[in-house]
Amino acid sequence: MNENRVIVAMSGGVDSSVAAAILKKEGYDVIGITMKTWGFMEVGGAPKHESGCCSLDAIFDAKNVAELIGIPHYTVDFTKAFEETVIDDFVKEYLAGRTPNPCVVCNRKIKWEELLKKADSLDARYVATGHYAVVEKINDRYTLKYSKDTKKDQTYALWGLTQESLSRTLFPLGKYTKEEVRAIAAEFGLKTAGKPDSQEICFVADNNYERFLRERIPEVINNIREGNLVYHGEIVGKHKGFPFYTIGQRRGLGVSFGKPVYVKNIDSNTNTIEIGDKEELLERRVKASDVNYVSQAILKEGEKVFGKIRYSDSAKEAVVIKSAPDSIEIEFSEPKNAVTPGQSLVLYDEKGYLLAGGIIEK
C-alpha cells in the first residue's frame, strides 16, 4: 500500500475541490474520485431527480478542478450500493413512522466503506473528503473533534465511522473556516470557488419527501389511508397517512386550534398522529440504538457528556443513565425540543471530542 497516496471524494463543490488542492500541494499522490450514487433511472414509473453532487454538472466541475491542479480523476458508479443501503433505509424508516438521516448512512456505508474498497484497488493508504472535522489519534484510539469552523462542523454526521475508517481518513479542511476555504479556492483559481453549498438531500432535490415516497413505492403508499389526528386523547380530524409527517411538524396538519400545535407522536401500527402543544414536545431523556463509540470503547453510567439531537442543534450538558455496547440512554440537564426517532443522538466531551453516536429510538 502506497503510504503517500490518497483518493479524494470530489463532489464538484468548493470544499472537496480545496481538499484535493491542499493535499496535492502538501505532496500527496492524489487521485480524485466522484461517486455517482444517483441519476436518471426509472423508479416506480417516474424518473429520479438528479441534482447536487450527483448531477452531470457536478461531475464536470470535479473533473475541471482535477485537471487544473494536475491529478487524475475518475467517476465511479456506486448507484447499486446506494440504492440497497441509503435509499432502502430511508424508505424503511419512514414506513416505520420515523424520520431518517440518510447522510449518516451514506457516510458510513458508501462514502467510507465503498471508497475504502476503491482505495485498496488503487493501492492508496488514505481517503479524504471536504468535511469540516478533525481526526486525531489519542491513546491508540482514533477520534473525531470539532473543526475550527464550529458553524460548518460536520462531525454530527460522521459518528458512524469505525476505527478502521478513521485510521485511513484525512480531513484537510478541519483547520479552516468556510471563508478561508473559499479564499484558498480563489488563490488556486478553482472554478468552484464561488459555488453555493448544496442544501438538499441528493436524491430528493425538491425536499418533497411525500413526492419521493409516492414515486418510489406507489404500491405501498397508495394503500396507506387517512388516519386519526388525536389531540389530548380526542380525535380532532384526519391526516393523509403517517409516513408524511415528522415529530415537531406544525404546518400542513389540516386543523386549526387558534394556536400552534405540533406533531407529538407517530404510531405506524395504528396510522395515528398525535398532536400537542409546544411544551409537550420537551423531553429530557433520550435512548439511542446502533451505537458507535468513537473516542472511548464505551461510556460509563453517570458520565457527563454534551449531546446533540439534530445537525443544527447545540450540544447541551447531559449525563449517561444507561450504557451498553449497542445502546445508550442519557438525560439532558435541560429539556430538548422535538426529539425525533430516526435522527441521531451524538455525544461529545467538554473539549469537543466525539464520544459516541446512535440512532434515536425514543
Nearest to 157 by CA among 131, 130, 137, 127: 131
Residue type, 194: G
Evaluate whether 148 touches 128 at the Cβ level (below 8 Å): no
CA torsion sign for 299, 345, 143, 160 is positive
255 backbone dihedrals φ, ψ, rounded to 5°: -135, 155
CB atoms within 10 A of CB 194: 10
Evaluate whether 265 touches 275 at the Cβ level (below 8 Å): no
The C-alpha cell of 141 is what? 484510539
Nearest to 288 by CA among 361, 191, 192: 361
- Residue 53 is a catalytic residue: no
Beta bridge partners of 318: 305, 332
Q: How far apart are CA 188 and CA 18, in angstroms?
A: 8
Q: How far apart are CA 135 and CA 277, in angstroms?
A: 42
Owner of C-alpha cell 380530524: 237
Output Rg (C-alpha) for the chain, integer angstroms: 22
Q: Taking CA 70 as the corner, what is the angle to CA 65 and CA 74, rounded to the nearest 5 degrees? A: 65
- Residue 106 is a catalytic residue: yes
Determine which one of 53, 54, 103, 106 is catalytic: 106
Strand blocks (E) in the chain: 2-9, 29-36, 42-43, 46-47, 73-77, 124-128, 134-138, 141-145, 169-170, 227-231, 234-239, 262-267, 272-276, 282-293, 304-308, 316-324, 327-337, 344-348, 354-360
**Cα atoms found within 13 Å of the Cα of residue 92, Cβ hemisphere only:** 9
Residue type, 103: C
Catalytic residues: 106, 202
